[in-house]
């Protein structure tokens, strides 16, 4: 076969076409390797020369077909999408699987002072007397309280207490953030509450619940120390009486930091406290080097002091304030 006159299309048809098509106009089908000479392979088999490997034109993979040789996309893919009907956005919402109360004009939300979470129950103060509620999600509520996230109200000079919004008719508690997020929104969480009596709540405040409460308080004290805040365990509600109270703070003498737990009145014969009694005055201080362990231990020391009071823990609340230095008067 004469390599000068043969074309790739002649090999596929068996006879040369009347006119050879120029290489620049490929057919829509795959290109039948135009770069390879048809006589190259026989020449490699019959040659007696020193070449030990096939020519480069055979070793190389055929070139990819040009974009112009690819078939055109189906016409349906190039058609524009139909416009979105704005009315289709406003669909009727699906039926709520949770039954809801029918709202009435009397349904209102009130600001309440938050008490201590004990045994799955929570005391809330709208006025001077607490109401008692069973939490349906106690872990979520406890995780938010006392860590600096919750909205606060000032109840005394430099004394701040966490507050929430309560919808009594809907049994809904809204725990609102103190600060807006990066998008400018003021967030928070809502949780369902179940009305309870004081007797129900107190029955749940067993020894296990008390241990969990004061262990949680130790974590609250540690987090407050990182925010340079003191923690006061005192009477709950919208006022802060002078006593009884336990003040927990971090203070420094200019060289070292100390964990200071002050109880007023003196917790007479209470464990640990009695080792440093009698104490002068109406209050007693326990001071130790500030570590994570001593800050957490303030929760247990508070438990021993509160046990000498006439108030039940459900009647107490947490307050926060600026942390004083060791040279300042620790009490109000």
pLDDT, block means (10 residues), the chain with 332 residues: 44 47 50 49 48 49 55 55 61 60 74 98 95 97 94 93 91 93 90 97 98 98 95 95 94 91 97 92 95 97 98 97 66 41
**Quick one: pLDDT at residue 20?**
47
Instruction: Give tens-digit pLDDT for 230-249.
Output: 999 999 999 988 899 999 99
Tokens coding 121: 């129950």
**Quick one: pLDDT at residue 324?**
78
Domain layout of the chain by residue ranges: 110-204, 207-322
The answer to whether residues 322 and 228 touch, using CB atoms and an 8 Å cutoff, is: yes
In whole angstroms, give the CA distance from residue 301 to residue 294. Answer: 10
**Quick one: pLDDT at residue 43?**
47
**Quick one: pLDDT at residue 160?**
96
Length of the chain as a residue count: 332
**Quick one: pLDDT at residue 253?**
84
**Quick one: pLDDT at residue 46?**
47
**Quick one: pLDDT at residue 44?**
46
Distances (CA, A) of 27 to 8, 66, 168: 13, 11, 79
DSSP characters over 235-262: E-SS---SSSEEEEEEEE-SS-EEEEEE
In whole angstroms, give the CA distance from residue 175 to residue 183. Answer: 19
**Quick one: pLDDT at residue 241?**
86
């Amino acid at each position: 076969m004469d390599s000068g006159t043969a074309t790739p299309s002649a090999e596929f048809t068996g006879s040369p076409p009347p006119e050879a098509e120029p290489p620049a106009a490929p057919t829509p089908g795959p290109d039948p390797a135009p770069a390879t000479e048809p006589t190259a392979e026989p020449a490699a088999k019959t040659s007696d020369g020193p070449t030990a490997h096939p020519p480069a034109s055979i070793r190389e993979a055929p070139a990819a077909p040009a974009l112009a040789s690819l078939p055109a996309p189906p016409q349906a893919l190039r058609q524009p999408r139909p416009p979105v009907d704005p009315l289709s956005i406003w669909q009727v919402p699906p039926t709520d699987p949770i039954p809801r109360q029918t709202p009435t004009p009397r349904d209102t939300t009130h600001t309440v002072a938050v008490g201590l979470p004990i045994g799955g129950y929570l005391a809330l103060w709208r006025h001077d007397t607490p109401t008692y509620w069973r939490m349906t999600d106690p872990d979520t509520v406890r995780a938010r309280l006392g860590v600096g996230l919750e909205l606060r109200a000032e109840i005394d000079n430099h004394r701040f207490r966490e507050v929430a919004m309560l919808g009594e008719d809907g049994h809904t508690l809204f725990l609102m953030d103190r600060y807006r997020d990066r998008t400018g929104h003021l967030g928070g969480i809502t949780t369902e509450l179940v009305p309870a009596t004081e007797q129900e709540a107190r029955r749940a405040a067993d020894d296990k619940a008390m241990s969990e409460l004061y262990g949680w308080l130790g974590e609250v004290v540690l987090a407050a120390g990182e925010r340079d805040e003191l923690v006061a365990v005192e009477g709950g509600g919208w006022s802060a009486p002078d006593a009884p109270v336990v003040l927990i703070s971090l203070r420094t003498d200019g060289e070292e930091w100390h964990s200071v737990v002050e109880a007023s009145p003196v917790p007479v014969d209470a464990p640990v406290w009695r080792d440093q009694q009698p104490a002068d005055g109406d209050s007693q201080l326990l001071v130790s080097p500030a570590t994570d362990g001593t800050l957490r231990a303030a929760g247990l020391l508070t438990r021993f002091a509160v046990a000498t009071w006439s108030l039940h823990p459900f009647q107490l609340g947490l307050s926060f304030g600026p942390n004083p230095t060791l040279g300042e008067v620790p009490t109000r």
